[in-house]
Amino acid sequence: MRTLHTRRTLTVATGVLALAAAGIAGTGAAHAAQPAPAAAHTFADGAKTAGLAAAHFGVRDIGGAARGVNARARHGFNINGGNWSGMVATGSGFTSTKSSWTEPKVTCNSTNDLMAPWVGIDGYGSSSVEQTGVATDCSSGSPVYQGWYEMYPANPVYYSNTVKAGDHITATVSRSGKKYTLTLADTTQGWTRTITKSYNGANASADFVMESPTASYPNFGSVKFTGATVDGSALGNFSPTAMDASNSNGYEDHTSALSGGNSFSISYLQE
């Protein structure tokens, strides 16, 4: 299982893929390549697993903006989300996000495939992120599912609780002042993990995201986010922005329009 702690740099088997320096408002300038340590990481309950490569779930990295604009005009894609797809609401003072999904059964295309549906606050136009979800890692050749949370720029923290394809997942991030509570529940397996931490977040976006830090998705079919709420109200009340992820080969997935104000799907596209 790979560790995930290299800031906004995509490390692949053939070298380092430095994303385009198109930049995101409020997040700084171009990216510098960093080495990818191969080390063990520690689960939240103390268990360890060997790491094979490195990447980092965190702030949105847009990359390939010009290509995204052209593809969008021809094929009706949403905005180019770079390594993010899904929906985000922007503004200020956000206090909670919540949504559920069914963990997909994936087919690994390569050992570089890595993806995670997650829910959180921040990261779209800010350098802070408070997020929790489930990562699917193909570095061993077969998909491995792990729950995790992250308070960027600190390293992700993983849970050793069992997660399988077909499990029903609910993720919640809430805030009271500078205290954030991140809860991840697998109602199929019957476990819930909750962490509360103090953190100086910008609280500038509410996020419902599918992310691939390696810019390489396994074939996940379709993932549907349901019951998406922001500050206790339906996501649709916040005029969210829809995003489609891309890499150097073009778009990797497509986000549907909102249904009922609180549900949408993200569908895999063959590279």
CA pair distance 186, 103, nearest whole angstrom:
10
Q: Which two tokens stand for residue 203?
A: 């609280």
Most confident listed range (13-17, 43-47, 119-123, 250-254): 119-123
pLDDT at 89 (0 to 100): 98
How many domains does the chain contain in total?
Answer: 1
Mean pLDDT for 11-32 is 29
Residues shown for the chain: 271
- The rounded distance, in Å, linking the Cα atoms of 147 and 237 is 29
101 pLDDT more than 70: yes
Gap between the Cα atoms of 52 and 63, Å rounded: 24
Of the pLDDT bands very low, low, confident and very high (cuts 50, 70, 90), residue 6 is: very low
Domain-located, residue 194? yes
Residue 8 located in a structural domain: no
Which two structure tokens, joined as six digits, stand for 264?
Answer: 């949408």
Q: Per-residue pLDDT for 180 more than 80?
A: yes
Q: Lowest-confidence range among 16-30, 89-103, 118-132, 217-231? A: 16-30
What pLDDT is recorded for position 2? 52
Q: DSSP 3-state assignment of 72?
A: helix
Residues 6+ apart with CB under 8 A from 165: 103, 104, 105, 106, 143, 145
Q: Which residue has the higher pLDDT, 52 or 2?
A: 2
The pLDDT assigned to 56 comes to: 61
Span 59-75, pLDDT tens digits: 666 544 434 444 544 46
Taking alpha carbons only, the member of 140, 94, 135 closest to residue 115 is 135
pLDDT at residue number 68: 45
**Is the pLDDT score of 28 beyond 60?**
no
Classify residue 142: in a domain, yes or no: yes
pLDDT confidence of residue 160: 94
- Give the integer Cα–Cα distance in Å for 82 and 118: 16
Mean predicted confidence (pLDDT) in 112-122? 96
Distances, alpha carbon 42 to alpha carbons 7, 46, 148, in Å: 18, 6, 11
- Structural domain span for residue 233: 79-268
Residue type, 139: S
Check the CA dihedral 84-54-182-124 and report its sign: negative
pLDDT tens for residues 204-261?
Answer: 999 999 999 888 999 999 999 999 999 999 999 999 999 999 888 889 999 999 999 9
**Can you name the residues that pair with 146 across neighbouring β-strands?**
135
Query: Would you say residue 227 lies in a domain?
Result: yes
CATH number at residue 248: 2.60.120.700
User: For the chain, what percent of residues have pLDDT higher than 70?
Assistant: 72
Q: Confidence class of residue 76 from pLDDT cuts 50, 70 and 90?
A: confident
| β-bridge pairing 114-121 and 129-137 | antiparallel
The residue type of 251 is Y
The verdict on residue 235 lying in a domain is yes
Please give the pLDDT value at position 206.
98
Would you report the helix, strand and coil content of the chain in percent, each value rounded to 5? 5, 45, 50
Residue 65 maps to a domain: no
pTM of the model: 0.79
Q: Is residue 104 part of a domain?
A: yes
Q: What pLDDT was estimated at residue 27?
A: 31
How many C-beta atoms lie closer than 10 Å to residue 27's C-beta? 18
In a domain, 184, yes or no: yes
Sign of CA dihedral 114, 51, 200, 174: positive
If one counts every other C-beta atom within 10 angstroms of the C-beta of residue 40, the result is: 10
- Residues in CB range of 66: below 8 A, 6 or more apart: none
